[in-house]
Amino acid sequence: MGDDDQSIYAWRGANPENLLELGRDYPALQIIKLEQNYRCSNRVLRAANALIAHNPHEHPKTLWSDQADGERIRVWECKDAAHEAEKVAAEIQFIAQKHAAPWSEFCILFRGNHQSRALEKALQLLRIPYHLSGGTAFLDRGEVKDALAWLRLLANPDDDAAFLRAVQSPNRGVGATSLQRLGELAAQGHLPLSRAAESLAIGKQLPPRAANALQGFCDIVRGLRADARTLPPAELVRKLNERSGLLAALRALCKDEAQFHARRRNLDELADWFDGPKTSGPGELAAALALLSHADKGDAGNQVRLMSMHAAKGLEFRFVFIVGVEDGNLPHEASIEEGRIDEERRLLYVGITRAKERLWLSHAREAQRWGDRLRLKPSRFLDELPSDELQRDGADPVADAAHKAERRSAGIANIRALLAD
C-alpha cells in the first residue's frame, strides 16, 4: 500500500515512480483506491485535493469524508516571524480556553526546525507547554541552561540548584568533593550554598584551591548582581555571558569557529529573549526569568507539538497551524532552483491533511537575514488552494470584525479573572 501524494522522502529513495515501477513489474496488479478519509473535515480535504491536483498523476484520486465542512481555513499575513509566532500562540491560548481543549490537540508545523525559535519564545511567554519533536528545545540547550542558572542565582541567592550548576559552568576547579563539603557546612549553618560560599569562616574549612575558586566565583556573582540593579535584563545577559566565562569556555570546547559561532548565537539569542522593557533591577530580572520558567512545561502527554512537516507524516491533530508559508521556504529555495516543486507541494499536502478539524496557514512579509530586512512573497501554493475554502485577512471584513471582537472579549475576561484572584 502506498500514496504517491505523500512521497516526501526522495533523498531516502522514496519516489512516486516506485509505484509506477510496481505496476510494470506486475502487470496483473489490481489498483484499489482508498479515497475515504476518516480524519479530516471535508473543507480541509477539498483544499488538499485542489493543491495536489497540480502535480502529475498516473492514478488520480479524490479524498472525501463523512465529516462536516468545518470552518474556513484561515490565512494570515504577518509582519515577520516574531509577529507570526505571537499570533499563533495567542490563537492557541484562545481556542484552548474556548473549547476546553487539551494542549495535545494543537500542532504547529514548519518546513525546518530553525523556525521553532520564535514559536518557543511566544509559547513560553503565554505559559503554554510545548514539545519540540526531532530537535532540542532552545531552553534545553546546554549553554542556554548554564546562562539561565547564573541568572536564577543572581535573582535568588537561595537557589541551591542554580548555584550548583553556575559554579561548575564553566569548570573553575571546585570538584564534587569540595561541593559536598560545602553542602555539609551550609547545612550546619542553615545557609543556602551561595551564602556559605561567601563565608570566610566556611572557606577556611575547604581545600585552599577550592576556597580560592569559590571566592573568585562569588566576586563575579557580586559584580553581576550589582549590574542587575542598573542594567536592563537583556544587557545583563550579554554582560554575564562574558564575565561568567561561559563564552571563553565555549570557545575552548568547540572544535572550530563555525561550531563556536553557532553555540554563541544561542547565548546571543537568549539575551534577545529578555529584550523588552528597558527598566532594570532585580525585580525585572526575576519577572523575566519567571516568564521563561520551565516549571510550566506541564504533563509530557499534554503539550502543544512543534514539528517539521516531514516528522508529522502519519500523525493527526484537531487544530493545526502551518507557519512560514512563503516562497523560498515552502517551496524551499533549493527546490525552486532545482525544479523539485512537486515534492514541496506534496509536503504541504501532508501538512494540510494532518488537520482533523481546523487549519491555519500563515506567512510573513519580512525577514531579518545577515543584518538586512528582506521582503518575502507568499507561497505560490496559496494561490493553488480554492478561494472559497479560505478566509484571508482583510477579505471578509464582517468575519474579521467578529473574530477580533470575540478575542477582545476573551482578553477582558482573562484580565478580570486575574484581578479577582
Instruction: Write out pLDDT tens, residues 142-196.
Output: 999 999 999 999 989 999 999 999 999 999 888 899 999 999 999 998 999 999 9
Average confidence score pLDDT of the chain: 86
| pLDDT tens figures, 219-255 | 999 999 999 988 888 899 999 999 999 999 999 999 8
Min mean pLDDT across 198-202, 243-247, 259-263, 416-420 is at 416-420
For 73-129+298-420, which CATH superfamily applies? Answer: P-loop containing nucleotide triphosphate hydrolases (3.40.50.300)
Contact 345, 6 (CB under 8 A): no
| pLDDT tens figures, 254-299 | 988 989 998 999 999 899 888 765 555 555 677 677 666 644 455 6
Taking the model in full, what pTM does it have?
A: 0.79
List the 390-392 sheet strands across, edge first: 130-132, 304-308, 106-110, 317-322, 355-364, 73-78, 390-392
* Bridge partners for 366 per DSSP: 375
Q: Which helix (H) or strand (E) holds 317?
A: strand 317-322
For 140-295, which CATH superfamily applies? Answer: PCRA; domain 4 (1.10.486.10)
pLDDT confidence bin for 418, thresholds 50/70/90: very low
- Map out the domains of the chain as residue ranges: 73-129+298-420, 140-295
Min mean pLDDT across 5-14, 86-95, 118-127, 342-351 is at 5-14
SS3 content of the chain, % helix, strand, coil (to 5): 55, 15, 30
Cα 120 to Cα 87, 277, 284: the distances in Å are 13, 20, 21
Total length of the chain:
421
Q: Establish whether the linkage from the previous residue to 232 is cis, with ω within 30° of 0.
A: no
Contacts 24+ apart (CB under 8 A), 230-233: 230/280, 231/280, 232/274, 232/275, 232/277, 232/278, 232/279, 232/280, 232/284, 233/274, 233/275, 233/276, 233/280, 233/284, 233/285, 233/288
> Tell me, what's the pLDDT at 411?
59
* Bridge partners for 77 per DSSP: 363
Do 140-295 and 73-129+298-420 have the same topology in CATH?
no
Q: What are phi and psi of 346, to 5 degrees?
A: -65, -35
Helix, strand or coil, per DSSP, at residue 328: strand
> Tell me, what's the pLDDT at 192?
94
